[in-house]
Amino acid sequence: MKMSRRALRMQRNHKRNAAKTPLNLTALMDIFTILVFFLMVNQSDVEIPRNEAIELPVAMIENSPEEHLTVMISREEILVQGRLIARHEQLTIDDDDAIHELAQELTYLATRVPLTDAEQQQGRYIIIMADKQTPYRLLKQVMNTCANTGYRNISLAINQQADTGGAG
């Protein structure tokens, strides 16, 4: 039986389309997986280093902190950028209510990085992560030490509380 023109055209079209290679989804999935991991690792949110020995207080904030020098005050010790500076029982307090060991470390770190114009006017930036059970007197001594060594732009780290949307 003779094939119609339409049947011949359809047969040619099927042969032509059958010769095309299918899209390789495995390679695309690999590329997108790598891209997702790259974006997750290099996300722009600043994450303050976590320390299980420090339980931060909770408050409501609107903007995230920038990445700066971090002083961590746990229940037993003081750390700068994760490096142990002193244990609470070993602290030596100067006459101006400053912690000698912390002052030495902050002064050393300040000499390694030159001041920007904004830092010359406002002081260097520093983030203090203190356990919520930290005595006020110790927190005040740490803040005085930071201010005396040129770190006058001080931020206190907290855990962000979700906005419940309620008034008051």
The sign one gets for the Cα dihedral 68, 133, 98, 78 is: negative
Task: Name all contacts of 47-55 with Cβ < 8 Å and 24+ positions apart.
Answer: 48/127, 48/129, 48/157, 49/82, 51/79, 51/82, 51/129, 53/77, 53/131, 54/129, 54/130, 54/131, 55/131, 55/132, 55/133
Q: What is the pTM of this model?
A: 0.58
Domain 58-160: CATH class, spelled out:
alpha beta
For residues 163 and 62, give the distance between their C-alpha atoms in angstroms, rounded to a whole number: 10
Residue listed under structure tokens 């750390």: 79
How many whole angstroms separate alpha carbon 56 and alpha carbon 74?
10
71-118 tens-digit pLDDT: 888 888 998 888 888 888 887 776 777 888 888 898 888 888 777 777
Residue 47: pLDDT above 80?
no
What is the residue extent of each domain of the chain? 5-41, 58-160
So what's the pLDDT on residue 65? 52
